[in-house]
Amino acid sequence: MEKLSDLGHFKARQNIILEGFDPVSSGGFTQVPNFILNNNKLTSNAKVVYAKLLSYAWHNDRVFPGQERMAEDIGISQQTVSRAIIELETIGYLEIQRRGQGLTNRYVLRHTVKQKIKK
């Protein structure tokens, strides 16, 4: 633990300083698990899509507005979102529960990965 007199030295060593930044009042924030951020097998698009799915789950009471809206929110194409979702499903971080014709899919985010059984 740093002493109060060391705080000035600590601030001088910081690379990024948030000044006057209040993440809650400026739209909230989403925590992304390090196992997602540090996974070098995931593309950056898959990581952002996972984070956005977390954001929807935490901030929208499980309402998922669809891939087109997600693409618009993130600033990527719907096809890129779709590929990222498939990537997350393939690696086991996301389960897609298809609910039938005319119904939206349900997305289950996994913090523990289940091994897929090979057929």
Q: What is the pLDDT of residues 102-111, one digit of tens each?
A: 777 788 887 7
Q: Which residue segment(s) compose the domain that 89 sits in?
A: 29-109
Evaluate if residue 11 carries a pLDDT over 60: no
Mean pLDDT for the chain?
Answer: 77
Top-confidence residue, 63 or 48: 48
Q: Return the residue matching tokens 């590929």.
A: 83
What's the token pair of residue 90? 């393939």
For 50, other C-beta atoms within 10 Å of its C-beta total 25
pLDDT tens digits, one per residue of 62-110: 556 688 889 999 999 999 999 999 999 999 898 888 878 877 778 888 7
CA-based torsion, 23, 26, 32, 37: positive or negative: negative
In-domain check, residue 60:
yes
In-domain check, residue 117:
no
What's the token pair of residue 32? 């992304």
CATH of the domain at 68: 1.10.10.10
The total number of structural domains that make up the chain:
1
Label residue 116 by pLDDT band (50, 70, 90).
low
DSSP single-letter state for residue 111? S
